[in-house]
């Protein structure tokens, strides 16, 4: 076939020497056609990045390609000498990476960095080169390119940096662009921008894109075809549309079921039990067998590849039977009484919380300004309820959490917890009160002292709060807690690094529970985890809420998690809450233009429910120097003259929600 | 920027004051001027008059901190602390215990010191960077492994050995250059070659090894991968991307010692008989001339603080991410 | 043979250090995060071979740190054994021949005659000018010019033979022990050992150990009849001097860090953890101390000490004690100049750690500051402390030589490589050149510093995973 651009056959890449090298890529076959977007989907550690780096021959020093073939057009890439390979890199194929922050050289201007790529392709004439640089920057939608060429990477926002990376990749007119998680480090609104840009560029230049991602939503937004990767192998290849209608591999099936959304609020999310097998072994059985809910005898023999249609196939003994699969038994929860939000007296009542960080300047370090990380946030949580605090990175949502816990001293405002005003308590009294408020962090590894045993980590809070007096009592309680979060007893005498990401987060939950808190602040507890593991943690949090009557302040940027878990939602923008209301209300019918844009930018898995993305221009301004008037007005699609003058108050609407927007308030 | 420099100058004052008080305590409180006089005049047969005489000749006969016999401001200014310690702030070093003008000596002797220190620094830097780049280019090969071994061996040899061995081999056996001495003008070169070469060779081990680590650290960064993904050759990647980033710690490491070059190298100068500040200090130490030692301590501190300031400024010049505030 | 024990200040400190090291080893054995890296160290070939060499130095140093007054052979009136006023160490006692066999002046290594011509009065009363025979070196030879080389070979042969014998015995004992531990046969262990299929590189360890033993026996054999590294100006055995200097070098390298550790750890962590004015004060202190050029601060302090000592000469019982106190003082002042680096490092680390999620979690539990520091901060900076201690060691040993050369190092009466080099400087200017003092001190110092450098590389790689991956 003439329209095949890239053909990968039986690619094998090993990491490390020694007796048991990690077989990161273990016999991968791929074909990418000209002009299509091909998504390589998989969870962390499945070998998808290594596949891409092997194709580019950019493996880290520990990695080496053991076998296989990569054909770009008619050229066999793996047989090229290094100097010829350099022609291909940045020429017919280019690559962009996950971390735009570290992927650009900090000491060279972006003009110089793009210029390098241009120079290789277009020769050394400075004038045409400069022209081309500006042209490239223009094509990736960077405003004012003539000025930007002289700027350094640190002067650009994350989204802009990724655009620069794309511009650099485009310099050689690539036929294939490999994008390794290009939007993972970016916020949803920026992600939407970048994905749209990639689509547009593809239409203009006709290049093919190999998109590597873990996000089903992103796949459904942009991909034409999908390959699912698991444990170093491709286990399913399908047309994107078909894939989302009927995944053929049990693993893909489960991935969809484990995604949280509002329809699943009353049920437990499906989970994939166990963890990904270590890749430093040779497999005889199916690699997914131990975790598969459909495994049967035959699975002890590794399944071969079954071609289903011309370019679709699956690596499973049950190939082609998916149409007859019944949905999994839903574990319906005991229906919890749905009561009105806000009727009970609140457990936590935050009024006008401000956390400012001073900026020092001048000869005597005068304070010349403040970074207003949190600038007047009010919220309330009733016992046993979940309030989700949603916003993009840098909006101050984590600072709100720390301010409530008094881990950061609030500049102003009141934090009432039950009968106590936390900001007024003495150090002694506050210390006692801390048992009631706990926190779970984003990165479970970083939130546990690597030098302590899990048992000691869980007991730490009990000791400090005097929860259980004797050491045997504490030990007993630790074992109970471990059981509650679904970990074996012997976990107590092991170290955190011996556990997987999901297990570590369970330990953190157990630690928080050890002091019997009434409120847990969950600071992005699942965003460092894979989808299937995320489902486990969400299930755990939900069941704990029911059995213990816990209240959660759930800080997140993930809207689908909010839809699944929250009772109430507050949306933050630049240190302030712009909209607050009950979850169904707010998610189905957002009022504030920012909320609308934010929700529309979230890529949806459900391909039927396509909606127009409201594209936000530019980036979030710095909290040190917020725009006058409404903070959102420079990016707001419906901004009015009034918005530049004053900041709109957060006002209640008749339907019970609060919105701070002149336009909305005007419409009443 | 200017405001920043001014603020740093203000910060320097308490530090210098601290240095001053420390040296004052060390030199005048731990041992009284009487002790020093006795030391200088010989231990046993020394009359009280001789001690008084020695002290008054050098201005050590005043009270330490407070002169009750003087009038007004004189009660504070007519003291050892004021005359010997605080005067240093005006760079008034006074005269040495043997009666020479320290300020003049310093201004004369700093040139020979610089004549050695600057070539050692510049040539050493070039040699070390070139060698380290070479190692980085051949990383994880035998060239790399054996070069590291060589560096460790070289840095395990005492600097004294390089000097003594070098002098013996080059000057005494081969008679290529004079063993020691100094001359003014161009004829100084023949005296300078050996100490400079030895200074450079002695520094290769530690320097190259450090730079190699810096280079290898940079080579593993994401932006290097980006550069390779553009299709750049290994040489361009090393020179344009890796070297430029690694130069930040290298340069700032160099800048911090720049002012201290004035102080010269104690050992090299005294071995090669070069009349620089290093040998000046050594002589002062062996003759127990405390006035000179005190002056050099103060000078050293000033230069050190200057070095810190220059380092901060040089960061802003080489690293676009750093801005002084 | 031994009279009253004498415990010098540095002896006491060195044994405290040994005690702490053992205690720390015991503590570390129970902590996986400390034991793991050490396991990596002993599994590295460079690690074990340098460890063998270093332990040889340490043994000599420790033997040389047990002091006592030797008993004199004569008895006093009451029939009691009298003891000498002199203080010697256990090591001195073991190598008594080396210590007491003093020649008249310079003699070259393995020489049988002095290095300079002298007037010799023959039995006939005739006076000739020739190289006189040494009193001890090669004194057993009738006709040195004919027998000398054969004698050297003979002694070498005997020494190597003895060394080989001991090596074989040691190897067999080790294999037998391993066989017992692994519960396999002797032959099986020997097989894996020779093929080097063990996780701990026993073969390398045995090879190094055997070479050390060989050299040791060879030296013992030769030095019983000759001065293998010659004699110095006053006829003292240079080999003995170089061996005695080991203790000085080790002391400077270890005690200095021991002295500075408490201050550096405490202040560094406090500055980083509490920030605010505590940080300001501590930063001010170390910037001030740092801004004084180290050599000058040491010079000033040592000069002051000298004045103090000469003015209060009667406070010291013996020369040894005086030299010892000066050594201790040198360690302290070196510590004062070198604690700032570690302090700054720890401050930065503590600043990072106090923002770590697990410290925040501890605060959220209401855990007190002191507990947080002890439980969360300290264990997570210990590896930095360890790496610094090991890395600093070789630098300090080299520094001692330089300082002694400038006369602000250890006491001139004390054996140290610096003092040896210092005197060698004049000897190098002699005609003909007296080179052995310099060579001996350089050789001993080089082996120690090289081993320490290689060892510290291994330790750093093992404890700092970031560096490990970058290799």
State percent of chain C over pLDDT 90: 33
Contact C291 B27 (CB under 8 A): no
Chain A residue numbers touching C366 (CB-CB < 8 A): 430-432, 434-435, 464-465
pLDDT exceeding 70 applies to what percent of chain C? 97
The strand order across the sheet containing A312-314 reads A93-96, A176-180, A208-213, A37-41, A225-230, A233-239, A312-314, A306-309
Pairing of strands A348-361, A366-381: antiparallel
Using CA atoms, how far apart are residues B139 and C204, in angstroms rounded to an integer? Answer: 26
User: Which DSSP string do the residues of C266-311 spell out, in sequence order?
Assistant: HHHHHHHHH-HHHHHHHHHHHHHHHHS-HHHHHHHHHHHHHHHHHH
Measured between alpha carbons, how far is A190 from B257 in angstroms, rounded to an integer?
Answer: 46
| Paired strand residues for A11 | A28
Res A341: pLDDT: 46
Rounded to a whole number, what is the distance in Å from the CA of B73 to chain C's nearest CA? 29
CB contact under 8 A, B304 and C291: yes
Rounded CA gap, A556 and A524, in Å? 5
Q: What is the DSSP string of A622-651?
A: PTTSPPSSSTTGGG-TT--GGGGT-PPP-E
Question: Of A441, A452, A460, which is closest to C365 when you measure between CB atoms?
Answer: A460
The DSSP string of C69-91 is EEEEEEE-TTSPEEE-S--EEHH
pLDDT value at residue C164: 94
pLDDT of residue A164: 94
Where in chain C are the domains? 141-218, 239-455
Of A123, A149, A170, which residue constitutes the final position of a domain? A170
Residues 6+ away with beta carbon under 8 Å from C318:
C85, C87
What does the block give as tokens for A319? 């190939």
Which runs of consecutive H residues, i.e. helices, occur in A436-569?
Answer: 454-465, 471-484, 501-513, 531-548, 559-565
For residue A72, being part of any structural domain is answered with yes
The pLDDT of C300-306, averaged and rounded, is 82
Q: What is the pLDDT of residues C97-155, one digit of tens each?
A: 888 888 888 888 888 888 888 887 777 878 888 888 888 888 888 888 888 888 889 99
Distance CA A317, CA A296 (A): 9
Does residue A337 lie within any of the structural domains?
A: no
A120, A360, A363 ranked by CB distance to B6: nearest: A363
Whether residue A536 sits in one domain with residue A461: yes
> Does residue A357 belong to the interface with chain B, where contact is any CB pair within 8 Å?
no
Q: What is the mean pLDDT of chain C?
A: 86
Same domain, A285 and A184: yes
CATH topology of domain B117-318: MetI-like fold (1.10.3720)
What mean pLDDT is reported for chain B?
84
- List B248's β-bridge partners, or say none: none
> Taking 50 as the threshold, does the pLDDT of residue B40 lie above it?
yes
A396 touches chain C (CB under 8 A): no
Residue A568 shares a structural domain with residue A588: yes
Which residues of chain C does A454 touch, with a Cβ-Cβ cutoff of 8 Å? none
Q: Does domain C239-455 have CATH number 1.10.3720.10?
A: yes
> Could you tell me if B120 and B203 are in contact, meaning their C-beta atoms sit under 8 angstroms apart?
yes
Alpha-carbon gap, residue A220 to A83, rounded angstroms: 38
Domain ranges of chain B: 2-90, 117-318
Is some CB atom of chain C closer than 8 A to the CB atom of B281? yes
Domain final position from A268, A292, A324: A324
Task: Look at residues A613, A630, A665 and name the one whose alpha carbon lies nearest to residue A200.
Answer: A613
**How near does any CA of chain A get to the CA of C467, in Å?**
15
- Closest in B7, B221, B228 to A58, CB measured: B228
Q: Taking a contact as any Cβ pair under 8 Å apart, which residues of chain C between 301 and 320 contact chain B?
A: 301, 303-304, 307-308, 310-311
Residue A98 belongs to some domain of the structure: no
Please give the backbone phi and psi of residue B218, each rounded to the nearest 5 degrees, phi first.
-70, -35
Are the C-beta atoms of residues A267 and A333 closer than 8 Å to each other?
yes
Quick check: C313 pLDDT over 80?
no
Q: Return the C-alpha torsion angle A160, A161, A166, A172, nearest 10.
A: 120
The C-alpha atoms of residue A530 and residue C415 are separated, in whole angstroms, by: 65
Q: For B26-45, what is the HEC assignment?
A: HHHHCCCHHHHHHHHHCCCC
Inter-residue long-range contacts of A398-401, CB under 8 Å, 24+ positions, other chains counted: A398/A523, A398/A524, A398/A555, A399/A355, A399/A373, A399/A374, A400/A350, A400/A353, A400/A355, A400/A374, A400/A555, A400/A572, A401/A439, A401/A521, A401/A523, A401/A553, A401/A555
Residues of the domain holding A358: 348-666
Report the C-alpha gap between B259 and C291 in whole angstroms.
12
Residue A332 lies in a domain: no
Stated as kind and residue range, the H or E segment containing B78 is none
Residue A516 sits at the chain C interface (C-beta within 8 Å): no
CATH assignment of the domain containing A520: 3.40.50.300
Cβ atoms of C158 and C221 within 8 Å: the answer is: yes
pLDDT at B265: 83
On chain A, the residues whose CB falls within 8 A of the CB of B220 are 60
Interchain CB distance below 8 Å, C361 and A511: yes
Domain check: are A88 and A201 in the same one? yes
* 3-state helix/strand/coil string of A118-148: HHHHHCCCHHHHHHHHHHHHHHCCCCCHHHH
Confidence of residue B45 (pLDDT cuts 50, 70, 90): low
Q: CA C39 → CA A408, A453, C48, C201, C349, distances in Å?
A: 41, 20, 11, 12, 25
What per-residue string of b and e applies to A76-99 under the rule 16 or more CB within 10 Å gives b?
ebbebeeeebbebbbbbbbbbbbb
pTM of the model: 0.87
H/E stretch holding A383: none
Give the closest residue to C162 by CA, choosing from C214, C223, C205. C214
Which ranges constitute the DSSP H helices of B98-141?
Answer: 102-137
Contact in structure between A474 and A464 (CB atoms under 8 Å): no
Backbone φ and ψ for A644, nearest 5 degrees, come out as -80, -15
C34 touches C385 (CB < 8 A): no
Q: Which of residues 241-280 of B touch C (CB under 8 A)?
A: 260, 263, 266-267, 270-271
Identify the pLDDT of residue C97: 85
CA dihedral C278, C283, C284, C288 (to 10 degrees): 150
pLDDT tens per residue, range C237-263: 899 999 999 999 999 999 998 888 999
A64 forms beta bridges with A14
Task: Report how far residue B294's alpha carbon sits from residue C296's, in angstroms, rounded to the nearest whole number.
Answer: 9
3 state SS of A575: coil
How large is the average pLDDT for residues C156-164? Answer: 93
Do the Cβ atoms of A583 and A649 come closer than 8 Å?
Answer: no
pLDDT of residue A540: 92
Q: How many domains does chain A have?
A: 3
Is C53 in the B-facing interface, judged by CB distances under 8 Å?
no
A94 to chain B nearest CA, in Å?
7
Which pair of structure tokens corresponds to residue A391? Answer: 């916003």
A383 in any annotated domain: yes
In a domain, A341, yes or no: no
Contact state of C364 with A432 under an 8 Å Cβ cutoff = no
State whether residue A474 sits within 8 Å of chain C by CB: no
- A521 lies in the same domain as A390: yes
Q: What is the pLDDT of residue C470?
A: 37
Residue A102 lies in a domain: no
Using a 10 angstrom Cβ sphere, with 0-12 exposed, 13-18 middle and 19 or more buried, the burial of residue B223 is buried
Per-residue pLDDT tens digits for C370-424: 999 999 999 889 888 888 888 889 999 998 888 888 888 888 888 899 898 888 8
Residue A611 has what pLDDT? 66
pLDDT of B71 higher than 90: no
Q: Taking chain A (668 residues) in consecutive chunks of 10 residues, what is each chunk's mean pLDDT?
A: 85 85 90 93 89 92 90 91 90 90 91 90 83 91 88 89 93 93 87 91 93 91 92 92 89 88 82 84 88 88 86 87 68 49 75 88 68 90 92 89 91 89 89 90 90 91 86 91 89 87 92 93 89 88 91 92 92 92 90 90 71 77 85 88 88 88 81
- Pair C162, C152: CB distance under 8 Å: no
What secondary structure letter does DSSP report for B264? -
Q: Measuring CA to CA, which residue among A563, A568, A555 is closest to residue A606?
A: A563
Residue whose structure tokens are 């899990």: A454
Q: Give Cα separations from C76 to B45, C72, C81 (angstroms).
A: 39, 10, 6
Positive/negative CA dihedral, C280, C282, C283, C284: positive
- In this complex, do B168 and C292 lie within 8 Å of one another by their Cβ atoms? no
**Residue C296 is nearest to which of B160, B168, B296, comparing CB atoms?**
B296
Helix (H, G, I), strand (E, B) or coil at A64: strand
Measured distance CA(A578)–CA(A648) in Å, rounded: 9
A505 with A454: CB under 8 angstroms? no
Distance CA A330, CA A325 (A): 14
CB contact under 8 A, C402 and B158: yes
Q: Do B288 and C297 touch (CB under 8 A)?
A: no
Based on the domain organization, do A465 and A488 belong to the same domain? yes
């Amino acid at each position: 076939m003439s329209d095949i651009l890239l053909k990968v056959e039986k690619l094998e890449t090993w990491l490390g020497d020694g007796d048991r090298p990690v077989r990161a890529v273990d016999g991968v076959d791929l074909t990418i056609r000209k002009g299509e977007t091909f998504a390589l989907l998989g969870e962390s550690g499945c070998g998808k990045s290594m596949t891409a780096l092997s194709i580019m021959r950019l493996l880290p020093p520990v990695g080496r390609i053991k076998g296989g073939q990569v054909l770009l057009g008619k050229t066999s890439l793996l047989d090229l000498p290094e100097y010829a390979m350099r022609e291909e890199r940045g020429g017919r194929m280019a690559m962009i990476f996950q971390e735009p922050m570290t992927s650009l050289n900090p000491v060279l201007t972006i003009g110089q960095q793009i210029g390098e790529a241009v120079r290789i392709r277009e020769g050394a004439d400075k004038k045409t080169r400069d022209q081309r640089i500006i042209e490239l920057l223009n094509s990736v939608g960077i405003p004012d390119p003539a000025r930007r060429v002289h700027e350094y990477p640190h002067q650009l926002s994350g989204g802009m940096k990724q655009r620069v990376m794309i511009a650099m990749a485009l310099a050689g007119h690539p036929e294939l662009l490999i994008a390794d998680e290009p939007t993972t480090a970016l916020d949803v609104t920026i992600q939407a921008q970048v994905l749209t840009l990639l689509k547009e560029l593809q239409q203009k230049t006709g290049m093919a894109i190999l998109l590597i991602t873990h996000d089903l939503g992103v796949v459904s937004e942009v991909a034409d075809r999908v390959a699912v990767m698991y444990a170093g192998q491709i286990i399913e290849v399908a047309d994107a549309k078909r894939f989302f209608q009927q995944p053929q591999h049990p693993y893909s099936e489960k991935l969809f079921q484990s995604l949280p959304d509002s329809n699943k609020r009353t049920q437990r999310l499906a989970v994939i039990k166990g963890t990904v097998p270590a890749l430093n072994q040779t497999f005889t059985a199916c690699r997914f067998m131990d975790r598969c809910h459909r495994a049967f005898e035959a699975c002890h023999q590794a399944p071969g590849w079954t071609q289903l249609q011309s370019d679709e196939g699956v690596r499973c003994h049950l190939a082609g039977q998916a149409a007859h699969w019944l949905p999994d038994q839903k574990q319906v929860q005991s229906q919890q009484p749905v009561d009105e939000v806000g009727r009970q007296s609140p457990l936590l009542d935050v009024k006008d919380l401000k956390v400012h960080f001073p900026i020092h300047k001048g000869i005597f370090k005068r304070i010349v300004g403040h970074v207003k990380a949190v600038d007047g946030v009010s919220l309330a949580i009733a016992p046993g309820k979940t309030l989700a605090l949603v916003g993009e990175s840098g909006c101050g949502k984590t600072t709100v959490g720390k301010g409530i816990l008094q881990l950061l001293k609030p500049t102003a405002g009141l934090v009432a917890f039950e009968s106590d005003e936390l900001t007024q308590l003495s150090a002694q009294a506050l210390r006692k009160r801390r048992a009631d408020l706990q926190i779970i962090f984003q990165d479970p590894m970083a939130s546990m002292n690597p030098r302590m045993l899990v048992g000691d980590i869980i007991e730490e809070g009990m000791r400090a709060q005097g929860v259980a007096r004797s050491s045997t009592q504490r030990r007993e309680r630790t074992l109970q807690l471990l059981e509650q979060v679904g970990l074996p007893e012997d976990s107590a005498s092991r170290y955190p690094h011996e556990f997987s990401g999901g297990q570590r987060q369970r330990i953190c939950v157990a630690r928080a529970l050890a002091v019997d808190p009434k409120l847990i602040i969950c600071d992005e507890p699942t965003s460092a985890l894979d989808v299937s593991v995320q489902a486990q943690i969400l299930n755990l949090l939900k069941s704990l809420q029911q059995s213990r009557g816990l209240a959660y302040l759930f800080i997140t940027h993930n809207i689908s998690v909010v839809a699944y878990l929250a009772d109430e939602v507050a949306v933050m923008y630049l240190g302030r809450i712009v909209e607050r209301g009950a979850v169904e209300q707010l998610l189905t019918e957002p009022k504030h233009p920012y909320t609308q844009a934010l929700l529309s930018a979230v890529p949806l898995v459900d391909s039927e429910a396509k909606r127009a993305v409201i594209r936000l221009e530019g980036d979030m301004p710095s909290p040190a120097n917020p725009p006058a008037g409404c903070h959102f007005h420079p990016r707001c699609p419906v901004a009015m003259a009034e918005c530049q003058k004053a900041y709109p108050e957060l006002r209640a609407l008749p339907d019970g929600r609060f919105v701070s927007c002149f336009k909305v308030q005007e419409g009443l | 920027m200017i405001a920043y420099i001014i603020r740093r100058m203000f910060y320097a004052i308490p530090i210098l004051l601290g240095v001053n008080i420390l040296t004052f305590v060390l030199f005048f409180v731990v041992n009284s001027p009487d002790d020093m006089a006795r030391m200088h005049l010989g231990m046993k047969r020394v009359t009280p008059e001789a001690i008084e005489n020695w002290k008054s000749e050098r201005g050590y006969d005043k009270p330490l901190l407070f002169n009750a016999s003087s009038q007004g401001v004189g009660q504070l200014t007519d003291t050892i602390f004021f005359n010997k310690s605080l005067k240093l702030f005006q760079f008034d070093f006074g005269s040495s215990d043997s009666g020479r003008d320290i300020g003049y000596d310093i201004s004369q002797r700093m040139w020979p010191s610089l004549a050695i220190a600057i070539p050692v620094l510049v040539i050493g830097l070039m040699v070390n960077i070139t060698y380290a780049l070479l190692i980085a280019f051949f990383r994880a090969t035998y060239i790399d492994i054996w070069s590291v071994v060589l560096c460790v061996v070289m840095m395990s040899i005492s600097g004294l050995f390089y000097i003594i061995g070098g002098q013996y081999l080059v000057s005494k056996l081969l008679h290529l250059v004079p063993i020691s001495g100094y001359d003014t003008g161009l004829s100084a070169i023949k005296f300078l070659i050996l100490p400079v070469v030895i200074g450079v060779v002695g520094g290769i081990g530690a320097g190259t090894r450090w730079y190699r680590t810096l280079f290898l650290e940079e080579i593993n960064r994401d932006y290097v991968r980006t550069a390779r993904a553009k299709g750049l050759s290994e040489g361009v990647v090393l020179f344009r991307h890796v070297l430029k980033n690694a130069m930040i710690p290298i340069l700032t490491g160099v800048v911090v010692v720049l002012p201290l070059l004035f102080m010269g190298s104690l050992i090299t100068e005294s071995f090669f008989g070069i009349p620089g500040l290093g040998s000046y200090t050594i002589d002062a130490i062996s003759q127990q001339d405390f006035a000179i030692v005190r002056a050099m301590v103060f000078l050293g501190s000033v230069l050190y603080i200057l070095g810190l300031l220059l380092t901060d400024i040089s960061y802003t010049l080489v690293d676009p991410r750093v801005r002084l505030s | 043979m031994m009279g009253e024990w004498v415990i010098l200040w540095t002896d006491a400190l060195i044994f405290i250090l040994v005690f702490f090291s053992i205690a720390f080893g015991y503590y570390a054995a129970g902590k996986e995060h400390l034991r793991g890296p050490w396991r990596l160290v002993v599994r590295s070939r460079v690690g074990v071979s340098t460890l063998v060499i270093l332990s040889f130095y340490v043994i000599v140093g420790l033997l040389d740190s047990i002091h006592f007054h030797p008993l004199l052979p004569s008895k006093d009136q009451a029939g009691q054994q009298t003891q000498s006023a002199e203080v010697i160490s256990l090591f001195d006692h073991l190598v008594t021949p080396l210590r007491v066999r003093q020649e008249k002046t310079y003699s070259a290594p393995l020489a049988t005659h002095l290095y300079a011509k002298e007037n010799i009065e023959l039995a006939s009363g005739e006076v000739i000018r020739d190289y006189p025979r040494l009193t001890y070196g090669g004194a057993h030879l009738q006709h040195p010019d004919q027998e000398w080389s054969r004698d050297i070979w003979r002694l070498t042969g005997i020494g190597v033979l003895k060394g080989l014998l001991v090596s074989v015995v040691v190897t067999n004992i080790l294999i037998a022990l391993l066989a017992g531990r692994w519960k396999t046969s002797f032959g099986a262990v020997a097989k894996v050992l020779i093929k080097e299929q063990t996780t701990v590189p026993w073969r390398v360890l045995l090879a190094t150990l055997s070479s050390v033993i060989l050299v040791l026996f060879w030296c013992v054999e030769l030095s019983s009849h000759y001065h293998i590294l010659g004699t110095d100006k006053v006829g003292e055995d240079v080999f003995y001097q170089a061996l005695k200097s080991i203790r000085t070098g080790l002391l400077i390298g270890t005690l200095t860090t021991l002295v500075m550790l408490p201050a550096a750890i405490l202040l560094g962590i406090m500055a980083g953890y509490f920030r605010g004015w505590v940080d300001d004060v501590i930063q001010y202190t170390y910037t001030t101390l740092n801004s004084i050029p180290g050599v000058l601060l040491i010079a000033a302090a040592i000069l002051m000490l000298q004045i103090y000592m000469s003015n209060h000469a009667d406070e010291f019982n013996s020369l040894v004690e005086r030299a010892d106190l000066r050594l201790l003082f040198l360690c302290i002042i070196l510590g004062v100049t070198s604690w700032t680096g570690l302090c700054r490092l720890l401050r930065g680390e503590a600043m990072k750690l106090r923002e770590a999620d697990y410290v925040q979690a501890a605060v959220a539990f209401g855990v007190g500051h002191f507990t947080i520091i002890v439980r969360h901060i300290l264990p997570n900076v210990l590896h930095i402390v360890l790496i610094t201690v090991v890395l600093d060691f070789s630098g300090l040993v080299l520094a001692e030589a330089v300082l002694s050369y400038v006369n602000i190092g250890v006491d001139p009466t004390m054996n140290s490589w610096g003092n040896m080099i210092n005197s060698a400087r004049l000897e190098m200017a002699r005609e003909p050149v007296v080179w052995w003092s310099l060579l001996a001190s350089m050789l001993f110092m080089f082996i120690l510093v090289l081993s320490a450098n290689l060892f510290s590389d291994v330790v750093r790689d093992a404890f700092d995973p970031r560096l490990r991956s970058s290799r």
